[in-house]
Structure 1
Amino acid sequence: MDRKQVNTRSHNISSARATVVLLALLMLGTSGCEFLGLDGSGGQQAQNAQQAQNPGANQAAQQQAATASEKEEEEEYERPEYPDQVRRNPFLPDLEIFQPKEQLADGDVRPLEPLEKYGLGQLQLVAIISEVAVPKAMFLDPEGFGHVVKEGDRIGQNGGTIADIRDNEVEVREITDEEETQTRLTTLELANDELEVRQEEGLSDEEREALRRLLQTDEGRKAVQESFDRRAPGAAASERQQNTRRGGLPPRR
């Protein structure tokens, strides 16, 4: 009886030990899976715990990422360079609006503008309208007709264009070679006895506007021409002598 009781007790103890070992293995396996993140949440928990333990490293990593992004943006952006001739005065109108660039098809011939039929020596500068957004000047051709021009208009027989209109003179840029690479500037001055419209001459705004509108019409140009022709005979004779000294400028008819 004693031996049977001892065997039974030993068997019970062995079963209890086996049960304890099995439970320990199960607990160890569960905790290991959580630690390795096999259950889907342990890895994130470990990462969060690591970030909580070292917040400075997390901020440094974010700053480095932001700095790297800014450097990439700075390297990608290149400031364009604008040549001086492209820059324009924002307070002056764009001349291309008033005179668009010509678009000619291949083989087409551009028709001549009225003042391209005459040389500069045949034209006479008789009026200037300055101190306005778009300055204008008036030339008389050999036939006595007036022509109002602005900057960019064509003039003369050498591919000339109006380069600048100032208070008492007009600057013309002409082409001097067939390749159109060489140019020269010619300044045509307004004679002292001719008409010059300036703010300091005492004209009111209404008079200036009326004169500006007058020179924009054919009738107005003829009226200005007639006003010159009605001047004193002595002044007209003096002007003819002056034209002769200028190199054969024709007198008015």
Structure 2
Amino acid sequence: MAAVLAIGFGLNFALGRSSFGAPASVHLHALLFVGWTGLYVLQTGLAATGSLALHRRLGWLAVGWLPAMVLAGTYVTVMSVRREAVPFFSTPGYFLIMNPLGVLTFAGLSGAAMVLRRRTQWHRRLMLCGMAVLTGPGWGRFAPVPLLIPHAGLGVIALVLLFPLAGMLWDLRSRGRVHPAWWWGIGTILAMQVLIEIVPATPLGGAIYRAAAAGSPAAGHDRLAYPPFPPGFPIPHP
């Protein structure tokens, strides 16, 4: 999962699609999310090598880290909509709902895993499901999901689900049955995606967009219209 994020964002930078000239809020957002990824990898390694005392102590960092990620992710999303900096394969209304719901789902699954930290089998699986949600932006930056427009979001979520599905397969091969935590994790992710697909086109989605875009150039845009595509993109504009 860390590799997906590193490849996706690294490729984005290498191709000149992003730069260090982004607003300070974007850099803070990046530090929080990269830091969480590093912490997740470290925590997995500590648990795997039996360093459980340090694993438990570091785990308390999440109490403050998760809310900070939710706030930063939501703020950067709103500012991106206001600056008309939405990815070309997503409509502004969809993007505005997708990112906050994604980070809330990640935080909810990770928070549930913390509550169930004494039930190791639940804890480790729900943490993985939460981390899988965070790979969505990584997949979207290097997988050919733009070719799936107007269903790019569904393509991304299919890739995200590869990780918990791999966990289910591991359970079947090693334990002979699938742990129920996987069903709860995957069910939560699917529920998130259903809302992402439905809400943008509803009156609620319209109200959220108007509130977020008020006073910015984006206020006069159709929230369900795609931004301009890059020159030479191989499919017609939806």
TM-score (norm 2): 0.24
Rg larger in structure: 1
TM-score (norm 1): 0.23
**Greater relative contact order (Cα < 8 A, sep 6+):** 2
Between structures 1 and 2, the one with greater strand share: 1
Between structures 1 and 2, the one with greater helix share: 2
